[in-house]
Structure 1
Amino acid sequence: MKSGFHLILSIALLLMNSCIDPLDLEIDDQAEMLVVDGLITNEPGPYTVRLSRSKPYDSYADNWSAVEMGATLILSDDKGNQETLTETAPGRYQTSVAGLQGQLGSTYTLSIRTKSGETYTSVPETLRPVPPIDSLYFEVRPQQVLNEEDVEVTIHVVDVLLDAPDPETEKNYYLWQWQSTFQVNTQPWDYTEKIRGVRVPRPKDCCEVCWVTGPTNSVNVQEDRLLNGGLLSRHVVTQIPVTEQAFGTKYHLEVKQLSLSEAAYDFWRILKAQIENGGSIQDPPPATIIGNITNTVTGERALGFFGASAVTRSSLVIRREELGVRIGPYVFPDDCRVITNSTTERPVFW
C-alpha cells in the first residue's frame, strides 16, 4: 500500500497533467521523472524512502507510476555519519533499526544513485524542534450537502481541533498527519449471492468484527506569521463525516505535529493548492512544485521532497454516544475483512 504522501503526490501530478493550461516544465511527452518520498525524524527508525517514476499522462490507465528498483541510497548528516539504505521491497528503501537516528539541530542529506547510473542529491535539511500538542478535541456541526439525487440534505461532521504553543524565538512551519481507526460490526451470516437473477442466502462463518485503519488523506500545513509566539488555537486537523460505519462504536485518531523547514513548507503548500484547486477549467494553471532533490549532472529536479522533522503526538477517542446525534445501525451483510484496510487483529490501544 502506498504511503499517504505518495498517494497525495500521485493525485497532484495527475491533476497537473489534466489541466487545460500546460505546466511550465520542459518535459517531453515520454518523460519519466524520478519521484522521491522520504523523511527522517527524531523518533526511532527505521526511516523509509520510496522511489518511483512518473509516467506520461497517456499511459496512466496502464501503469501511471512505477517503482524504481535497484538504486543505492545513502543518508548522511553534518557530523560525518552516514548509512546506506536497504531495499526491503520494490522501490522501498529503509535504514536499519539500530542505524542513523534523527537528532534535533542536525542536518541531513539524501544521495541517490539509480540502477541506470543517474545521481541525485537533496538540499540539506535541518531537523528543527516542534512544540507539544496542548490539547486535542472535537466538535460536531451540521453541514448541508447534495445527495446522489442532487437534493440538499443535512449531515453531521466532526471537526478535530488542536491547541499548541508557538515559540516566539524563530519562524515556525508546521505539518499535521493523522491515522484513524474504527471498529465495524457486520453480518456475514446474512450474506447472499445473485444466482440467475435471484438473491440466494450464502451465509459466511467469518468475520463479524474488524478494525479499519485510514491514513492521512489531505495536506495540512501552516506557518506562524500571524501568531508568532502566541497560541495556535482551534486549528482544524481534519473533518470526519458522521456515518454508521465510522461511528458504530468509537473512533480513534492519532495526530502527529511535525516541524518543517521553510522550503518544505513551500513544497507542501503548493502541493496542497494543486490538490484543492486542480482539475477545473476555471482554475489557474498549476504552479511548479519545486522539490529539494536535483540530478547532480543535468540539474533536473526530481519530484517529491526529502525532509527532516521533529514529531510530537497526541491521540483522541471519540465515542458514538458523545456525538449527540442519532446514528443508525451499520448494515453490511458480508465478511468485514472485505472492507478496505480492515483487519480482525484488535489494535493494542483499543
Structure 2
Amino acid sequence: MRRLAFFTATSVIALTSCQDIIEVELPEGETRLIVNGRVTDRDSARVDVKWSVAYLNTDPNEPVTNALVVLIEDGVAVDTLTHRSNGRYLSDFQGEVGRSYRVAVTVPEREGYPSGTWTSATEALNRCNDADSIYSQYLPRAPFQQEGRYVFIHWSEAPGRGDHYRVRVFRNDTLQNQTFDLTVFNDDFNDGFVFPTPPSIPPIQIAGPDSVGVKYKVELGSISMGLFSYLNLLREQTLQVGGLFDPPPAPIVGNIYREGNENEYALGYFYASAIRTAEVTISE
C-alpha cells in the first residue's frame, strides 16, 4: 500500500508539472443591433435599442440614443416613440386586441456600426382572460410539498385552440427574472379549461412557500406562437450545464430584420400582448 501511494503521488506531480498553457483567440464577431420591446393593451409601448458586445466582453451593451422608432398598427404608422434613457424608447400608445403590430427602427450612420432601418415581423395582439381570483393558502407538509403559505390563482382559458401565454411574477415589486423563472405555455392540452375544476383540475400555483407579508403580482399575457418558440429556445440554451445531452449552442434569432433583407437580422424580439394582472399579499 505504501508503494502504491508513493507511485500515485509522484505520478500526479509528473502530470501537473507538464502542463502547457494554450491561449485561444476567439473572433469578436460583427456588431449587431439589439431590439427588444412590446406593445400591450394595458400599459405604455416600449422598445429598448442597444448594440451587441463581443462574447467575452463584460461591459454593458451600449445604448442607441438617436434612433427613430416608429410603431405600426395594421400597416399604418400610429406613433413615434421618444427616447427616455439608456436606449429605452417609450410611448403612451396602447394596443387593441384583434389588431396587429410591428416596429420600425432606423439607426443613423456611424463609423464601424451598421446603419439603416430594421423592422419586426407583424405580431397579432391576441386575447387573454382576466384572473378570476388570487389568494394565499397555508398547506401542510406532504410528499413533494413543503409546509408553508402558497399563492394560487383561479383562471379560465378561452375556448378555441391556438392560444399561447407568458407568466411573469413580481415578488415585492421585483420581477423574478432568472432563467428558470421564464414561464410560457399554450392550450394544446388545456383548451377551455377552468382552473380549478375539482377534483381533477387544481388551481394554478404561482409561488411558495413564502412568508406572511410578502406581496406577489402576477402578469399573465397573451403571446404569439413565434414568441412562444423563441422563449422556449432561449430557456433551453441558457439552462445548459455542459452535459452530454445538452443541445448544441446556436444563434437565437428573433423577429427583427433589416428592411428589404431578411437574411440580415438584429438580435431581440418585439411582440404584442394582452396583459392581465392580479396582486395579493400573503396573510395568516
Q: Name the TM tier (shorter chain).
A: 0.7 to 0.9
CA distance in 2, matches of 1:252, 1:114: 41
CA distance in 2, matches of 1:90, 1:143: 48
CA distance in 2, matches of 1:110, 1:143: 49
Question: TM-score, normalised on structure 1?
Answer: 0.62
Query: Which among 158, 165, 190 is matched to residue 174 of structure 1?
Result: 165
When residues 169 and 250 of structure 1 are mapped into structure 2, their CA distance, relative to the original with a 3 A threshold, is same
- Larger RCO of the pair (alpha carbons < 8 Å, separation 6+): 1
In the other structure, the counterpart of 2:254 is 291
CA distance in 2, matches of 1:158, 1:304: 37
CA distance in 1, matches of 2:60, 2:83: 22
In the other structure, the counterpart of 1:215 is 175
When residues 281 and 44 of structure 1 are mapped into structure 2, their CA distance, relative to the original with a 3 A threshold, is closer
Q: Report how far residue 79 of structure 1 moved.
A: 6.1
Question: What's the secondary structure of 1:85's corresponding residue?
Answer: strand
When residues 88 and 141 of structure 1 are mapped into structure 2, their CA distance, relative to the original with a 3 A threshold, is farther
When residues 315 and 52 of structure 1 are mapped into structure 2, their CA distance, relative to the original with a 3 A threshold, is same
What per-residue deviation string (whole Å, max 9, x for no partner) do you get for residues 209-233 of structure 1?
xxxx411312111011011122244
Question: What's the secondary structure of 1:76's corresponding residue?
Answer: strand
What per-residue deviation string (whole Å, max 9, x for no partner) do you get for residues 253-291 of structure 1?
11111001111111112222223x224343222354231
Q: Which amino acid aligns with 2:203?
A: R
Query: Which among 265, 271, 278 is matched to residue 240 of structure 2?
Result: 278
Question: What's the secondary structure of 2:30's corresponding residue?
Answer: coil
Q: Is the 8 A contact 1:143 1:157 kept in 2?
A: no
Q: Which runs of no fewer than 5 residues in structure 2 stay unpaired?
A: 1-25, 110-114, 196-201
Q: Report how far residue 169 of structure 1 moved.
A: 2.2
1:102 aligns to 2:91 (yes or no): no
Q: Is the 8 A contact 1:56 1:64 kept in 2?
A: no
1:162 aligns to 2:153 (yes or no): yes
| Identical pairs, percent | 24
1:311 aligns to 2:275 (yes or no): yes
Query: Which among 180, 188, 191 is matched to residue 228 of structure 1?
Result: 191
Aligned residues: 241
Q: Is the 8 A contact 2:157 2:194 kept in 1?
A: yes
What per-residue deviation string (whole Å, max 9, x for no partner) do you get for residues 220-247 of structure 1?
110110111222443343x4564xxxx4
Q: Which runs of no fewer than 5 residues in structure 1 stay unpaired?
A: 1-26, 145-153, 182-212, 323-350
When residues 297 and 161 of structure 1 are mapped into structure 2, their CA distance, relative to the original with a 3 A threshold, is same
When residues 141 and 33 of structure 1 are mapped into structure 2, their CA distance, relative to the original with a 3 A threshold, is farther
In the other structure, the counterpart of 1:74 is 70
Question: What's the secondary structure of 2:161's corresponding residue?
Answer: coil
CA distance in 2, matches of 1:156, 1:54: 45
CA distance in 1, matches of 2:250, 2:190: 27
When residues 157 and 67 of structure 1 are mapped into structure 2, their CA distance, relative to the original with a 3 A threshold, is farther
Q: Is the 8 A contact 1:119 1:297 kept in 2?
A: no
When residues 64 and 158 of structure 1 are mapped into structure 2, their CA distance, relative to the original with a 3 A threshold, is farther
Q: How large is the RMSD of aligned CA atoms in angstroms?
A: 2.7
CA distance in 2, matches of 1:79, 1:66: 30
Question: TM-score, normalised on structure 2?
Answer: 0.75
Structure whose CA Rg is larger: 2
When residues 286 and 158 of structure 1 are mapped into structure 2, their CA distance, relative to the original with a 3 A threshold, is farther
Q: Is the 8 A contact 1:54 1:64 kept in 2?
A: no
CA distance in 2, matches of 1:312, 1:43: 8
Q: Report how far residue 158 of structure 1 moved.
A: 5.3
